[in-house]
Structure 1
Amino acid sequence: MARLRRVAVLAALLVPLGGIAPATASAAEPGQSAELEKSVVALHIKTVANVRYPTDGGGEDLVKEPMTVEGACSGFLVSATGDIVTAGHCVDPQEIRRDILIEALIYMEKTKAINSAKQWLEYALKNWDVEGTSKGSKPETRVRVTQPESVGGPVKFNHNAQILDYKSFNDGDVALLRVSGISGALPLPIAVQDPAVGTKLVSIGFPAAVGRVIDENQRASFKTGTASSQQTSPKGVPQTEVNSDLSGGMSGGPTVDDDGNVLGVNSFLLRNQQNFNFITDTTDLGAFVRQHGVSPVAPRSAPKAPGESTGDGAVPTPASDSGGGFPWWILAVVVAVLLVAAGGGFVWYRRNQRRPIPAEQPVTPAFVGTAMPQYGPQVRPPNDPPGCDHRNNPPGVRFCNTCGAPLS
């Protein structure tokens, strides 16, 4: 299983340690992509830290100082004031700590201090300290939010984002960031329910593979697909499987339906498999955002019930006829139903006049005794006409094959 965050300096080690699995781009929806792209942002995550490890004799030492680890994710705007959703593992301190330790182990392997970075990872996770540039402090992590200039979106230059809250990868994999100085943002609406299997969708983000072959003004990629299944993690967290091609760097980007409503956050894929990709739960995403005081805009396709706010201050009212009088269409439907019923009754009557139904005759066994020969002794009914012994009849018939008389 590979999470979709990309840490550029760790490319050599991430694959054997459960890292990036590349995928190819697929077609985008041309009429929709221009507007959606204005709501999608790229996240550049940079952490500066020291790694302190124990030495022989009870001492300790630093790997080197300071260490810098950079990564990339995607995100999308959910409010006009700069609230941004991304994947939880993009900003989770424990995930960042792991990335820093991997970088430290790679450095020690290159300098011949250890033989294998992979073999040391589990020990380092349990016994090594990751701290800020001063002993005992927390590592400093900065998240910058950008958009390509050609998109014409609200992020005109790099913005530093504040991490408001997050859910870890195992608890839902969603995070909420906030940037200031944003105006004219076009927040994406969040769908009201999980997509049904077969629902068409588009996953959006900034793939790391694309970023390595183009200039710094990377545009978002749009990868189409459908919802494949609704699943639940071993810890009881609901997830949606999709077959749109996700890849490293797309973590935190939105997966939307045909109307541009967000169905979930791009989360992870199964390594060495084709199109087994997962996004976060739709209803959990909406609840998480609302818990932090953000009111998502109304879904673009969902009808509003009477009295329910549309998100722009308007409240729909119940529909009524323009004249305010009796709904004549109801009377027309009732008359039509009565006419159909009357016509059906007439047809039934005429049919039964032409073809009277004979009275039901009591059925008695055609053979007696325990044995049932193919053609044997039969019960002779009281109205048996002379000249026919009714012997040439198979079992179960109600009329004689020879004379046509009833056998019961």
Structure 2
Amino acid sequence: MQRAAVVAALLVPLGVMAPVAASAAEPVQSAELEKSVVALHIRTVANVRYPTEGGGEDVVKEPMVVEGACSGFLVSATGDIVTAGHCVDPQEIRRDLIIEALLYMEKAKQITKAKDWLEYAAKNWDVEGGSKGSKPETRVRITQPESVGGPVKFDHNAQIIDYKSFNDGDVALLRVSGISGALPLPIATQDPAVGTKLISIGFPAAVGRVIDENQRASFKTGTASSQQTSPKGVPQTEVNADLSGGMSGGPTVDEAGNVLGVNSFLLRDQQNFNFITDTTDLGAFLRQHGVNPVAPRAATGDDASTGNNPLPAPAADSGGGFPWWLPGGVALLLVLAGGVLVWYQRNRTRPVPVEQPAFVGTAMPQYGPQQPADPPGCDHRNNPPGARFCNACGAPLSR
């Protein structure tokens, strides 16, 4: 999936003469960035209703609770916050609630093999609030560690203004009140070129499990690896900064502190492949909702002149004439390289082909879609009176 080569992206800047910028900003400090990054605690409580035999219905005895952790960042001085769309997407939360209900019923021995029921339940079960037909309430709490000295002095409840689902761009806008002195992060105006140095910021859940409640943000350095497009035509940037669960929604910035995208998802293969959202799409999404992004800061170092293009400019001619030694040196290198290649082909250990692992992203389902069909030969016998599901195969007895 997404195997587009990055060769073209690397070749284009090679032919560009890049003048040295007259002045470049100093790299932004982590302490300054940390004041603009927030932790998100997301909690939803809901009742799950399911059909029973004879056309009836029932509710799982206990309300289901789903809690999640994501990251976000301030994009205005008045409390506008960006995070990943999948963190607050009602459909993602609904799926998690149904999974919790299935696991609860499996433990109570009302069904067997909860994962086999996921596709059926997702289509036929209802998730609702305190009253039948009402929407479940999702609360998003915004926090910052006290030691950061940021604008979030105590926990704030955030309003979900809008979101794009994982497949449509994976970005969301939240809004909180009662914040003053916020330092919004500037948004870059173009996607990073391959090789651009960057920093991905967020609150990894794995770190949160081994430290106290005042978890500080983690900073993962890396570079832009490629520009890709999803099957639905949504642009994405691959980065080699290590992302992990809980960092979703945090910013990935360049060395000047300009946001290049929102931490989105990763693929687990023999190594992780990490992705952030599109830069220009983020700016358009904010302007669509009346948030004018802060203008980007001047680039730093090698990135200063070409819009985050990290490739160096060709060296100026020193006037020393043609280097006559060069052809002989190149020929010698080719002979040596040929000898090494022959030795390698004769002596290398040929790898055993490895089956390509299935796509696994942080925003993707934990269970694969499976049909809850009856196994061959199941006659639904030996079930206790009043049973709603077959103990042998887990199928609803109303079918």
Question: Could you tell me the TM-score, scaled by structure 2's length?
Answer: 0.68
Q: Which residue of structure 2 lines up, in the alignment, with residue 69 of structure 1? A: 66
Unmatched 5+ residue regions in structure 1?
2-28, 304-339, 341-408
Q: Deviations over 1:295-323 (max 9, x none)?
A: 111101269xxxxxxxxxxxxxxxxxxxx
The alpha-carbon deviation at position 66 of structure 1 amounts to 2.0
Range moving further from structure 2, 171-180 or 116-125? 116-125
Q: Could you say which residue in structure 2 is the equivalent of 1:330?
A: none
Mapped to 1, the partners of 2:208 and 2:262 lie a distance apart of 20
- Aligned partner of 2:183 in structure 1 is 186
Query: CA offsets per residue over residues 173-192 of structure 1, 9 Å max, x none?
Result: 00000000000000000000
C-alpha contact 1:242 1:275 (8 A) present in aligned 2: no
Residue 278, structure 1, aligned to residue 275, structure 2: yes
Q: Which residue of 2 aligns with 1:126?
A: 123
State yes or no: 1:146 paired with 2:135: no
| C-alpha distance after superposition, 1:84-137 (max 9, x if no partner) | 000001111101101101111111111111111211111111110001111110
Equivalent position amino acid for 1:127 in 2: N
Of 188, 197, 201, which aligns to 1:200?
197
Counterpart of 2:114 in structure 1 is 117
| Matched positions, count | 277
Any idea what SS the aligned residue of 2:70 has? strand
Contact 1:149 1:156 in 2 (8 A): yes
Partner of residue 212 from structure 2, selected from 212, 215, 233: 215
Report if aligned partners of 1:81, 1:185 keep a CA contact under 8 Å in 2. yes
Alignment of 1:98-117 (within 5 A): 98-117=95-114
Aligned equivalent of 2:253, options 256, 279, 294: 256
Question: How big is the shift at 1:59?
Answer: 1.0
Asked if structure 1 preserves the Cα contact closer than 8 Å seen for 2:256 and 2:299, the reply is no
Matches for 1:1-16 after TM superposition, within 5 Å = none
**Counterparts of 1:51 and 1:272 in 2: how far apart (Å)?**
35
Distance across 1 between alignment mates of 2:272 and 2:64: 36
CA distance in 2, matches of 1:30, 1:287: 26
Match of 2:90 in 1: 93
For residue 157 of structure 1, the aligned residue among 150, 154, 161 is: 154
Which one of 131, 134, 141 corresponds to residue 137 of structure 1?
Answer: 134
Per the alignment, residue 296 of structure 1 pairs with 293
Tell which deviates more after alignment, 204-213 or 63-72.
63-72
**Which of structure 1's runs of 4+ aligned residues deviate more than 2 A?**
none
User: What residue is the counterpart of 1:82 in the other structure?
Assistant: 79
Equivalences for residues 318-357 of structure 1 within 5 A: none
SS at match of 1:193: coil
* Larger RCO (alpha carbons 8 Å, 6+ apart): 2
Whole-angstrom CA distance in 2 between matches of 1:299 and 1:183: 21
Letter in 1 for 2:112: N
1:266 aligns with 2:263: yes
User: Does residue 55 of structure 1 match 2:49?
Assistant: no
CA drift at 1:35: 0.5
Q: In structure 2, how many angstroms separate the alpha carbons of the residues matched to 1:126 and 1:260?
A: 44
Matching residue of 1:333: none
| Alignment pair present for 1:45 and 2:42 | yes
User: Is the Cα contact below 8 Å between 2:89 and 2:163 reproduced in 1?
Assistant: yes
Inter-partner Cα distance in structure 2 for 1:226 and 1:53: 48
Is residue 2:232 matched to residue 1:246? Answer: no
Q: Partner letter of residue 240 of structure 2?
A: N
- Equivalent pair of 1:163/1:177 in contact (CA under 8 Å): yes
Instruction: Name the CA shift for 1:258/1:302 in 2 (closer, same or farther; >3 Å).
Output: closer
Aligned to 2:233: 236
User: Matched residues in 2 for 1:235 and 1:168: separation?
Assistant: 12
Q: Distance in 2 between matches of 1:133 and 1:94?
A: 18
Q: 1: distance between equivalents of 2:62 and 2:111?
A: 18
8 A contact 1:159–1:179 mirrored in 2:
yes
Shift of 1:157: 0.4
Partner Cα separation in structure 2 for residue 207 and residue 30 of structure 1: 24
Match of 2:315 in 1: none
Post-superposition offset of 1:64:
2.3
The CA deviation string for residues 179-211 of structure 1, in whole angstroms up to 9 with x for no partner, is 000000000000000000000100000001001
- Distance in 1 between the 2:249 and 2:59 partners? 33
How far has the Cα of 1:273 moved from its partner? 4.1
Structural RMSD (CA): 1.8
Q: Note the C-alpha offset of 1:271.
A: 2.4
User: Distance between the aligned counterparts of 2:248 and 2:105, measured in 1?
Assistant: 29
Deviation track 1:36-93 (CA, whole Å, cap 9, x = no partner) reads 0000000000101000011111111111232221111100000000000000011111
